[in-house]
Amino acid sequence: MKKMANLLFKGAAWPVLLLVGVLLSGCAVNPVTGKSELRLVPESTEINLGSEQYAPSRQMQGGDYTVDPEVAAYVSSVGNRLAAVSDRGLPYEFKIINDSTPNAWALPGGKLAINRGMLTELNSEAELAAVLGHEIVHAAARHGAKGMERGMLLQGVVLAAQVASSNSEYGGLAVGGAALASQMIGQKYSREAELESDYYGMKYMSRAGYDPQAAIRLQETFVRLAEGQNQDWLSGLFSSHPPSRERVAANRETVKQLPPGGDVGGERYRQKMAVLIRGKDAYAAYDRGRKALSKGDNEQALALAEQALAVEPREALFHSLRGDVRFEQGRYQDAVADYDRALERNGGYFHFFVKRGLAREQLGQKDAAYADLEKSVKLLPTATALNSLGNLARARGDLEKAKEFFAAAASSKTGPGEDAARSLVRLDLPSNPNQYLQIRLRLDASRYLLAEIGNPTRVPVTDVHFLVQFVDARGARRQVALRVPETIAPGASTRVSTGVGPVDNVDSLKGLKAGIIRARVAE
């Protein structure tokens, strides 16, 4: 179990690093603003944390866009042009998320992403530079790191281990260190941080030769969309980067401080985005298809998948949607063929491996299913894959491995996570009953010792035996072995009289201890 924990929670080692940062805390100068500030998170931690969370962050939001590699290269070139004139040297990276929601985000340490849906809404290279420049400042000015530091100060030492799930379809299924990515990419910045990112982002635009007026035009568009309650934008960029007329006014003042003119690159941008723009309707059909599938309308989902594929057969997501429909229809062999096509076009997205593994499991192809699910976990550990791996390991007779998988999946508060938690209890409770059941001792109305046995698990438990030990008034060590006469339902408790007493209070029984020594799951 320790090996699996090390694999899954590698990204969760950040609290230890933050603790080291606390011990080394002190004042430092912000590399962008030049202001003195308390620094609890060292730069090495920022960089390591961003690097560890970059891949899972992208996986849970749709994976990387791969249809037109030239688009990815173009976005990186614009980002690198801005990063070269920023006030802080970091290992900057720029990736395109294959999702229609207009959004962009930055992790500590310079790892940035912009959604496909944002790229199709922009009108020029200068507007792209405005978005990327803004995100570069979030990383360079340590806005994400300062968010972590505020959490550290509020909670004593480190951020809480419990992590909020993201708005993505798969955020809630992510487990282990990868679950942290959900919180980090959904982090809301303060009003001061947003204004700061606008200001220095425009300065970076000007230094890189772009017209900073594009940042004003972009913010004006954002304000109109926000005031018009545009749902796509409200659920995307605006959820973490709320626009305002204050920001527009501030940007106008900033432009007055910068040299006039600069590169706009409208036509160049449209040429680079031609493939994406041509495929916009296909992605819209895909998005509607996923919604139809989530509502159980398989026929509509399949029709929309075919519609999307007719426009852009190179997109792996479209093949996967068709596979997901066929999976729901019980056509597992056809689904495998669709997932094969998806993986031929994009072999780096966890969802394709998960679903092909689940389909192969249904077909009885146990070894192939196991291999696919393991590959998916390396890309993004999810409760779905880990629960199925646990079932497959159990069928092989490898119960210790099954326990590892179930334990990892059980941290997710989802259907697969709940299933894994029940399976783990069924496998492990007979050997370790004291780990799962609770026992509390108190006095009843007659001052006799009463044992309250609690079952916080998700399965009914029976044949519960427990032991009470204490030192009596003559100094002799005594022990009483007892059995709970009934089955304890999930989440319930029961009381058993021990026959020990009467005594003045529980503390008068020296060396008092109690523990569960045997129990089994009631099938």
Catalytic residues: 135
Q: Do residues 206 and 258 lie in contact, with contact meaning Cβ atoms separated by under 8 Å?
A: yes
Q: For the chain, what is the radius of gyration of the CA atoms?
A: 28
3-state helix, strand, coil in the chain (%, to 5): 55, 15, 30
Cis peptide leading into 502, omega within 30 of 0? yes
Q: Give 520's strand partners.
A: 462
Which residues neighbour 341 within 8 Å (Cβ) at sequence distance 6 or greater?
Answer: 316, 319
Measuring CA to CA, how many Å separate 409 from each of 57, 321, 417?
18, 25, 5
Instruction: For the chain, give the longest Cα–Cα distance.
Output: 95
Q: Do residues 18 and 147 lie in contact, with contact meaning Cβ atoms separated by under 8 Å?
A: no
Helices (H), 208-297: 213-227, 231-234, 237-240, 245-256, 266-272, 274-278, 280-294
| Sheet containing strand 104-107, strands side by side | 93-97, 111-115, 104-107
Amino acid letter for position 514: A
- In degrees to the nearest 10, what's the CA dihedral of 465, 471, 475, 479? 0
Amino acid letter for position 477: R
Sort strands 111-115 and 93-97 into parallel, antiparallel or unpaired.
Answer: parallel
Token pair listed for 434: 């004291």
